[in-house]
Structure 1
Amino acid sequence: MPQLTDQGAIDHGAIDRAETDRAGIDPAATDGAEAGPAAPDDHERAGTWMTPEEYGASRAAVWTAAVVLVTDTDGRILVQSVDYRADRMLPGGAVDAGEAPSAAAARELREELGVEGRYPRGLAVDWIPADTPGFPPEMRFPGEILHVYDGGTWTAERIDAVRLPAQEITGIHFAEPADLPALMDAGDARRALSALRARINGPGTALLEDGRPTAPTALDRLGVLRTRRTPLHGPWHPGPVPEQLPVRDHCGWLFGPDGRVLLLIARATGAAHLPPPTAGPATGAVPLGYRRAAQGAHARTAARLTGLPPAADPAYARLLATPEQVRELSDWGPAGADELAAVHAARARLSLPVPTRTPPTELPEDGVCW
């Protein structure tokens, strides 16, 4: 960063005295002597000195905005319709002069949805370049820094409390994450999905450039949530599947030593799946429960992995994730909370720790041994 100075305020006499002191010259001996050379003009200044005016003129000017990412209990994202454009948007808007971005986020939700709240946790900060399509030339769009805040998960009661203003906001809708590119501007959809993945990853704010993370995580690299999740909303039943009920599919909650579980991600679609219970050598296997469906039961087994063989199917990436992250990547309806409680009860029986939420870790294709 250049050094700042007000050239007219420089005390050249003080500089001369300092130079005299360093040279060991008695100031009295110089009384009446010929004055030294004049101070250099501005164009002769050495180094990177700049006046405040020069420095201010050299800085980039950008707009600032703040939006809020809100989900419902099924993991769908709140988007709103407005009266001035066709595509949908996250709630939020421009940061006023002298206003903090988090304060702007709270103000915008109060004005647009009639909801009071504070949103201190940032999910993402996005740099939107000046040449982004869609801005009229006469607007002279200089680029924008956009903050995405976490609005949390809203219950049905809080959603019912939304009150729209008389103009601007014409409606709200909760959208499946994979549907955002069809509903929103392309950059807005990229930003919303990146922010949602950042929320699932855990603490920490994602830095984005035009909606794309500068340091992509496994969820970003694999494009998780870019295709619709398969809904599985049947009620949860603990224990083994009854003999008279056919098993439609059988998946495993397979724990690693840190309490996280194995998760498969289809590389072609980004879809998340629990693995089969035979995905690796395991101990302590127990029937965890099942979900009833029209075609039969979706069975679940819990076990502790002792290792993982080399990947047999290159179409899938293998990750370790917390049980909560698995649920957030799935569409399980209200009974998802019951299944999650059963998973943690099984983890405790296996004497495994409560896992810390960190970004899901992709496991090596050549396998691991614990």
Structure 2
Amino acid sequence: MPADDVREPVGLMAPEDYARSRAVFWGGAAVLFTDAEGRVLVLDPAYRPGKLLLPGGGVDQAERPSAGAVREVAEELGLSVGVRQLLAVDWVSRGNPEFGTVCGFPGETVSIWDGGVLEESDIARIRLPENEITSFHFLPPAQAARRMRPIERRRMLAALRARIDRAGPAVLEDGESVGLGRALQRLDVVPRIAIGYQDIAWHPAMEPAAGLPVKQAWVWAFDPLGRVVVLVDPRDGHVVLPGGTVETDDDGPKAAALREAAEEAALRLHDAVYLGYLLDPDGAVYGPGTGANARARYIARIDSLGPAAPDVATRITYSRLLVSPVQASELLGLGRAGVEQAEYAAQTAAIRWGIPLSPPQAAIEIPHTGMAALLP
């Protein structure tokens, strides 16, 4: 009944009864921050040691959720920042087993906001409140998730996926997606921080020095709209480019990249062109005892994508996504070298083939049955 309705409630519920019948919920707000490497900022609260949280807390009466998020960041981090956009909303039911009857919990609507990327100068200004927050950490998403309560883990990952997807906020109920959800959420994609890649250099257009072995080769496979194919590993939700190890019977790194793309992703490619390489100076990325080596990168155009099938080597059936190169770099977690590589791949494809620069957009899952004849 509207507040300004002054009619006597003939056959209707009395206003006071109607008010009592409405659901009463708490409000909560949290903020997702990352650093330049894509690691998530999490807090270790003194009142719940060992179970990490995003910065945030309860929304006060008559306070807007975005204002509550800003206030909580000021109280918990000592930072005065604005929130950029809403990433996720989670409706938590009164009977949620993770909350039980704590403080007469009536249910809660939690909003998760995008705080953006914190620079080193921002991080240096963080000040924690005594007796409430014992420490803060920047952790890879998968590592942070393992140290959070299940509902908060799902909420954090949903917000991170929504930030990368750039297609509006995720809608959750008790931490779970409502309906089918978008592709990144549906496939449980976990943006990664690739170990060892954060400090290695990208060498565009350059050939590896004589005597430097090329251990692996990957390919940026472009569709006509400028999107690229990435693979989702069902074991951990991590994303990789098509490609892999250069075998002794491969006719060089390019042949290895094309073979791996066919085996892993059922990709038929043409016009493959050398793009550059990443230098692994001490073999730390590839594995102990390997020694210095190069990781080659190629670009190619997609002819078609066949039906998904288990990879010959691993017997894993990867899910396949079409994303913009920018989003691919965010999912791959290769650090600055990955960002530079994605930009160079997109620019080279545009110059060489006239392929447009794809803006970030909602990731598209390639059907298991494949997509034939992508070229116009």
Q: Which amino acid aligns with 1:223?
A: D
Distance change in 2, residues 1:307/1:115 (3 Å)? same
Larger radius of gyration: 1
| Residue 189 of structure 1: how far off its partner (Å) | 0.8
Mapped partners of 1:168, 1:260: distance in 2? 45
The residue that corresponds to 1:318 in the other structure is: 320
Summarize the alignment of residues 139-288 of structure 1 with structure 2, pairs less than 5 Å apart.
139-215=103-179, 216-225=181-190, 229-233=194-198, 234-239=200-205, 240-276=207-243, 277-278=257-258, 279=261, 280-288=267-275
The residue that corresponds to 1:352 in the other structure is: 355
Mapped partners of 2:24, 2:309: distance in 1? 52
The residue that corresponds to 2:276 in the other structure is: 289
Mapped partners of 2:102, 2:216: distance in 1? 58
The residue that corresponds to 2:373 in the other structure is: 369
Q: Deviations over 1:326-368 (max 9, x none)?
A: 1111221232232122122213212111213222111123332
The residue that corresponds to 2:247 in the other structure is: none
The residue that corresponds to 1:305 in the other structure is: 302
Choose 250-259 or 219-228, whichever is displaced more: 219-228
Q: Contact between 1:3 and 1:50, CA under 8 Å: does it hold in 2?
A: no
- Root mean square deviation, CA, Å: 2.2
Distance change in 2, residues 1:221/1:135 (3 Å)? closer
**Mapped pair 1:339 → 2:302:** no
Mapped partners of 2:146, 2:306: distance in 1? 39
Q: Contact between 2:328 and 2:342, CA under 8 Å: does it hold in 1?
A: no
Mapped partners of 2:347, 2:110: distance in 1? 41
Q: Contact between 2:70 and 2:83, CA under 8 Å: does it hold in 1?
A: yes
Mapped partners of 2:118, 2:31: distance in 1? 12
Mapped partners of 2:64, 2:197: distance in 1? 41
Q: Which amino acid aligns with 1:353?
A: P
Q: Contact between 1:255 and 1:303, CA under 8 Å: does it hold in 2?
A: yes
Mapped partners of 1:166, 1:257: distance in 2? 55
| Residue 79 of structure 1: how far off its partner (Å) | 0.3
Distance change in 2, residues 1:238/1:107 (3 Å)? same
Consecutive unaligned residues of structure 2, counting only runs of 5 or more, are 244-256, 262-266, 284-289, 311-315
The residue that corresponds to 1:38 in the other structure is: none
Q: Contact between 1:260 and 1:321, CA under 8 Å: does it hold in 2?
A: yes
Q: Give TM-score, length-normalised by structure 1.
A: 0.84
Consecutive unaligned residues of structure 1, counting only runs of 5 or more, are 11-41
| Residue 218 of structure 1: how far off its partner (Å) | 1.8
Choose 251-260 or 166-175, whichever is displaced more: 166-175
Summarize the alignment of residues 84-99 of structure 1 with structure 2, pairs less than 5 Å apart.
84-86=47-49, 87-99=51-63
Q: Which amino acid aligns with 2:220?
A: W
Mapped partners of 1:62, 1:311: distance in 2? 45
SS in 2 for 1:369: coil
Distance change in 2, residues 1:136/1:361 (3 Å)? closer
Distance change in 2, residues 1:306/1:110 (3 Å)? same
Q: Deviations over 1:75-131 (max 9, x none)?
A: 111001122111111001111111100011111111111111111400000011112
Aligned length: 333
SS in 1 for 2:235: coil
Q: Which amino acid aligns with 1:235?
A: A
| Residue 4 of structure 1: how far off its partner (Å) | 7.8
The residue that corresponds to 2:253 in the other structure is: none
| Residue 226 of structure 1: how far off its partner (Å) | 8.0
